[in-house]
Amino acid sequence: MSSPRKLTPQEEARLAQVRANFQERRKVSESLEGIGVRVGVYSGKGGVGKTTVATNLAVTLAAQENDVALFDCDIDCPNVTRVLRISEGPIQNGEKLVPPSRFGVKVMSMAFFQDNEDEAIVWRGPMIHNAINQFLHSTEWGDPDYMIVDLPPGTSDAPLTVMQTLNLDGFVIVTTPHELAVLDAKRSINMIKKMNLKVFGIVENLSGSVFGTGGGKALAEEMELPFLGALTMSADYTNSQGPASLESDEVGAEFKVITDNLKAQIEAGK
């Protein structure tokens, strides 16, 4: 009986990488196993209010007596901490990071690790991938009912990494009524479908006399997806010292509609 063939250095390196990737996925899976529903808030275009929707959705769920975590996966331009007016970073507990909480929401973001929030984070895909994985398996998430994930915009490496790593239960797609935003939202939906993942529904942001209305609802009808609701363009967002859904009755009512519709879609899929 012949002895096994000795592996070449290249084969040994590839095997070592496979083992390392497996261990990394296992750590991430163990860290996330206590989380109830993982919802990605996503758009093909930046500037449509994705972070605004993610943060206000999270605090609305928390106000309804849910345990909620918010993960800012926009590594290049993290903005969740600014919207929530949160400055204290996570606390080290052994090998784990305990995320700070604001408005009843546990928050993790790359912004906590920037010396200056005005500085640009210029990283290639592998570095973004490593950062996301590091946050996932080193954070003590606990057992939240919901994790809201603010994804980076676009249809390339960064959002793809998040989709492949977090095993999200579904997505909320954010668009404005504008024609180009709707087109990019359609592209992001098609990307999700190619990965055999679920879209919970579409939210139309900045709806009103300036940008028009109906683009999000029309897209939902075209793509045969639920329309979760519209958010009117309002000065309450610019004047807010925190999430507008907690300070404005009108904004709060709009987010309650979206949250109720989202929960109905989640229940329907169980």
CA dihedral 240, 242, 246, 251 (to 10 degrees): 40
What is the per-residue pLDDT across 186-225, written as a single tens digit (0 to 9) for each? 999 999 999 999 999 999 999 998 889 999 999 999 999 9
* Residue 21 confidence class, pLDDT cut points 50, 70, 90: low
List, in order of start, the domains of the chain with CATH numbers: 36-268 (3.40.50.300)
* Pure H helices in the chain: 9-32, 50-63, 80-84, 125-138, 157-166, 179-194, 215-223, 236-239, 244-247, 249-268
What is the per-residue pLDDT across 149-161, written as a single tens digit (0 to 9) for each? 999 888 777 788 7
Q: What share of the chain in percent tops pLDDT 70?
A: 92
Average pLDDT of the chain, as a whole number: 88
Per the document, the length of the chain is 270
CB 50 within 8 A of CB 153: yes
What is the per-residue pLDDT across 33-66, written as a single tens digit (0 to 9) for each? 889 999 999 998 888 999 999 999 999 999 999 9
What is the per-residue pLDDT across 124-146, written as a single tens digit (0 to 9) for each? 667 777 888 888 878 998 999 99
pTM of the model: 0.88
Task: Give the span between the Cα atoms of 37 and 247, in whole angstroms.
Answer: 26
CB 256 within 8 A of CB 232: no
